[in-house]
Amino acid sequence: MTTPLLLLQGVAKRFTLHHQNQLELPVFDAVDLSVSAGECVVLDGASGLGKSTLLKLIYANYRASAGRITVQALAGPVDLTEVAPRELVRLRRDTIGYVSQFLRVIPRVPALDVVAEPLAEDAGDDPAGIEAARAEARRWLARLRIPERLWHLPPATFSGGEQQRINIARNMIKPKPLLLLDEPTASLDAANTATVIELIREATARGAAIVGIFHDAEVGAAVATRRVNVGDFRSTRP
Ligand X SMILES: Nc1ncnc2c1ncn2[C@@H]1O[C@H](COP(=O)(O)OP(=O)(O)OP(=O)(O)O)[C@@H](O)[C@H]1O
At closest approach, how far in Å is the CB of 66 from ligand X?
Answer: 16
Helices and strands: H and E segment counts in the chain: 7, 9
Neighbouring-strand partners of residue 209:
178
What order do you get walking across the sheet with 96-99 strand by strand? 96-99, 178-182, 209-213, 40-44, 226-229
212 binds ligand X (CB under 6 A): no
- Binding segment (CB under 6 A) for ligand X, from list 48-56, 69-77, 101-109, 128-136: 48-56
Q: Compare residues 48 and 175 and give the one whose CB is closer to ligand X.
A: 48
Q: Compare residues 72 and 100 and give the one whose CB is closer to ligand X.
A: 100
At closest approach, how far in Å is the CB of 55 from ligand X?
Answer: 8
The bridge status of strand 178-182 relative to strand 96-99 is parallel
Q: Among residues 14, 15, 207, 218, which is the contact residue for ligand X, using CB under 6 A?
A: 15
**Side chain identity, residue 27:** V
Q: Compare residues 17 and 109 and give the one whose CB is closer to ligand X.
A: 17
Q: How far apart are CA 224 and CA 172, in angstroms?
A: 18
Q: Among residues 4, 50, 161, 220, which is the contact residue for ligand X, using CB under 6 A?
A: 50
Residue 78's nearest CA partner among 98, 94, 65 is: 94
Residues 27 to 46 in contact with ligand X, rule: CB under 6 A: 27, 45
Site size for ligand X, by CB under 6 A? Answer: 12
Neighbours of 27 (CB within 10 A): 22
- Binding segment (CB under 6 A) for ligand X, from list 51-59, 72-80, 101-109, 156-164: 51-59
238 binds ligand X (CB under 6 A): yes
49 binds ligand X (CB under 6 A): yes
- Sign of the torsion formed by the C-alpha atoms of 81, 85, 87 and 91: positive
Q: End-to-end distance of the chain based on CA atoms, in angstroms?
A: 37
**Side chain identity, residue 110:** P
> Which residues of the shown chain bind ligand X in the complex (CB under 6 A)?
15, 25, 27, 45, 47-53, 238
